[in-house]
Amino acid sequence: MEFASIYDQGFVRVAACVPAVAIAEPRVNAASVAELLRACADEGVGVAVFPELALTGYSIEDLLLQEAVLDEVEVAVADLVAASVDLTTVCVVGAPLRHGNRLLNCAVVIHRGVVLGVAPKSYLPTYREFYERRHFAPGDDRRGASTTLAGQTVPLGPDLLFTASDVPGLTFHVEVCEDLWVPVAPSAEAALAGATLLLNLSGSPITVGRAEDRRLLVRSQSSRCLAAYVYTAAGPGESSTDLSWDGQTMVYELGQLLAETDRFPDGPRRAVADVDLLRLRQERVRQGTFDDNRRTLAARAGDFRTVTFTLDPPRVDLGLRRSLDRFPFVPDDADRLALDCYEAYNIQVTALTQRLVAIGNPRIVIGVSGGLDSTHALMVAAKAMDRLGRPRTDILTFTMPGFATSAATKDSATHLSLALGTTFAELDIRPAAEKMLHDMDHPFADGHPVYDVTFENVQAGLRTDYLFRLANQRNGIVLGTGDLSELALGWCTYGVGDQMSHYAVNAGVPKTLIQHLIRWAIGNGEFDAETNRVLSTILAQEISPELVPVAEGERPQSTEAKIGPYALQDFTLFHVLRYGFPPSRIAFLAAHAWSDAGTGAWPPGYDGVRTAYDLPTIRHWLTVFCQRFFGTSQFKRSAIPNGPKVVAGGALSPRGEWRAPSDGNARAWLAELERNVPA
């Protein structure tokens, strides 16, 4: 395996190309296509798609029935076949071809001097500005057919799947323009039959609003078919007798736009993107209803022919031609982030409101530390009380200083609790902790600075123990504050500790999203000015459990120094939970997302340090993640309290999404990482 190769990492590079067309000059057009094809090959493109009738022009009308033109088309195809001999890239190009007594609107698939097959257009528009049945016959009845082209006998029909024997998951199907606009598109059946890459060669003249219609269809088809969809429309050079052309191109994957070009180009264009075949395969395995649909339509989905070829792509470092989110739980688009924050916040508030109503409207008991998690949980609790029409004094907030609690976090917890109008109290756990450590004969009780896990968990456990007993005493429930990232890494004290509560309102929220939720609440005017001032102070603090004392001048205990930067660990968590990617794939993606702080987008409003991480650092923390997530922490997740799933990236509740054995191990993941990620 070549770690840096997109093809070894499960991607295929595709291109949606728009050449400049010469009206009714097939050989000139073939030369233009060949020039773009060579440029694609130089970029490592595996599959390049050209528009409908690109060898003649879509707009030549009755010239399509001229023998001179049709003869030249066949010569032009032969020219392309010859030009492709030494090129890696598969060429998919539109051409009118004679077959039997009729003319077909076809896509010709060419690779390394071979015509792999011909896919005819199934559905011909003959309405409004379209008159295709004047010239062409529908190709939907040509399943199982063949034809002779460029001296080769080749399969012809809408039932062709093209599969690369040396690129796992690369199976593509071709449809032409109108085929996508019918209720059951040929590509839908092809996807059920195994096609991961759906190609559309389109003519499609432009009218106001049509570009968005195309985009809607392409996006939805890629999402519904769990596939990538490559679309290219006719552009410069087409006749403007009665119509105009915009040369729109799009590459979508699972409803996500990967690449597009500017519309109305003044010359050749191509949109290039790396399609994630592994992601598509994983989605289909996970979403069982996809294959159930295949079973329902087995008569059609099982009636495809497969054309196998060897792509032999360049297995070198070609870079990565797709955008990657540094923070996959946090959108880079400002509007999308605002909507995600609105939804996440209200999911939590609504869930907590429902729980309170269902169990008789008890008070809420919450321990506040001045950190991000308890701050956000308290904000959710305040809004839940507002929604129920109850006073915020029914929220009982307790700050519980221990041996390492700083004045800054204690002040933040105090000021936030008071600003929100809760019933606030301070409960010093140090006397009880000293008594427990003394009873346990712990060295700390005799004045020795032994700050081991027992020392830490005595404090964490006492806090939780007090909260539960306070809830008993005051008719309340303990609101959990721990987040999704902490559960993933096992960064919580089991049982009588912060792993446990009556309702875990934050358990579905990753750490990297929580700061944005707080920032959104500030910007959206959810609270008053004083509350917002305290929230802004809390956002600026370093993440720390504050359990180990530090001498004056020393840095406080750092969570991220122990378990890794949450930015990297949330990146890994997303790709493990959502897609089941192996460590080598995650390391490859992380290296591209995080290697240069100056490239790529950062989430709106992000005001943290813009850090870069090199591959050795990524590898180190990925090892830590695998050990903690797969090897040691599942028993904590198997016993977590109720709490709502929030993000589409996944949840860790065994009742909601993630189910795994508590006595599992990390050996398979660590071995794959050791084997495939350079040290």
- Which sequence positions are flagged as catalytic? 52, 121, 177
**C-alpha span between 638 and 659 (Å, rounded):** 8
Q: What are the two backbone dihedrals, phi and then psi, of residue 208, each rounded to the nearest 5 degrees? A: -60, 125
44 among the known binding-site residues? no
Q: What are phi and psi for residue 146, nearest 5 degrees?
A: -145, 170
Dist. CA 327–CA 604, nearest whole Å:
11
Is 494 annotated for ligand binding? yes
User: Would the annotation count 369 as a binding residue?
Assistant: yes
Q: Give the neighbor-by-neighbor strand order of the sheet with 269-276.
A: 145-149, 152-156, 114-120, 102-111, 90-99, 47-49, 11-18, 269-276
Name the 3-class secondary structure at 640: coil
Total residues found in the chain within this entry: 679
Residue 536 is classified by DSSP as H
Q: Is 127 annotated as a binding residue?
A: yes
Burial of 101 (0-12, 13-18, 19+ CB in 10 A): exposed
Helix (H, G, I), strand (E, B) or coil at 35: helix
Q: What CA–CA distances, in Å, run from 62 to 59, 139, 515, 619? A: 9, 19, 63, 62
Burial class (CB in 10 A: 0-12, 13-18, 19+), 110: buried
- Give the whole-angstrom CA distance, residue 127 versus residue 74: 29
DSSP state of 184: S
CA–CA separation, 561 vs 621, rounded Å?
A: 10
Rounded to an integer, what distance in angstroms lies between the CA atom of residue 129 and that of residue 212? Answer: 18
Q: Are 409 and 576 in contact (CB under 8 A)?
A: no
d(CA 548, CA 459) in angstroms, rounded, equals: 10
| Residue 33 is labelled as binding a ligand | no
Contacts of 123 (CB under 8 A, 6+ apart): 138, 140, 178, 179, 181, 182
For residues 214 and 53, give the distance between their C-alpha atoms in angstroms, rounded to a whole number: 18
Burial grade of 632 (CB within 10 A; 0-12, 13-18, 19 or more): middle
The annotation status of 667 as a binding-site residue, yes or no, is no
If you ran DSSP here, which 8-state letter would residue 603 be given?
Answer: -
Phi, psi (rounded to 5 degrees) for 189: -65, -40
204 carries a ligand binding annotation: yes
- Only one residue has tokens 């001048």, namely 553
Which of 255, 326, 284, 256 shows the shortest CA–CA distance to 579? Answer: 284
Which pair of tokens denotes residue 338? Answer: 């605002």
Using alpha carbons only, how large is the chain's radius of gyration in Å? 30
Q: How many CA atoms lie within 13 A of 378 on its CB side?
A: 35
Check whether 481 is labelled as a binding-site residue.
Answer: yes
Contact indicator for 301, 193 with CB cutoff of 8 Å: yes
**φ and ψ at residue 25, rounded to 5 degrees:** -130, 80
Bridge partners of residue 96, in order along the sequence:
105
Q: Which residue has the tokens 């020219």?
A: 79
CA dist., res. 507 & res. 552, Å (int): 35
Nearest to 457 by CA among 492, 427, 490, 484: 492
Determine if residue 476 is labeled as part of a ligand binding site.
no
Distance CA 262, CA 269 (A): 8
367 known ligand binder: yes
491 carries a ligand binding annotation:
yes
Residue pair 119/157 in contact (Cβ under 8 Å)? The answer is yes
**Three-state DSSP class for residue 631:** helix
187 is known to lie in a ligand binding site: no
Whether residue 345 is annotated as binding a ligand: the answer is no
Q: Is 222 annotated as a binding residue?
A: no
d(CA 494, CA 484): 15
Q: Given CA atoms 468, 470, 471, 473 in this order, what sign does their dihedral have?
A: positive
- List residues forming the annotated binding site for L-glutamine: 127, 204, 210
Q: Which residues are annotated as a binding site for ATP?
A: 367-374, 481
Residue ranges for the known binding site are 127, 204, 210, 367-374, 457, 481, 486, 491-494, 636
List binding-site positions for deamido-NAD(+). 457, 486, 491-494, 636
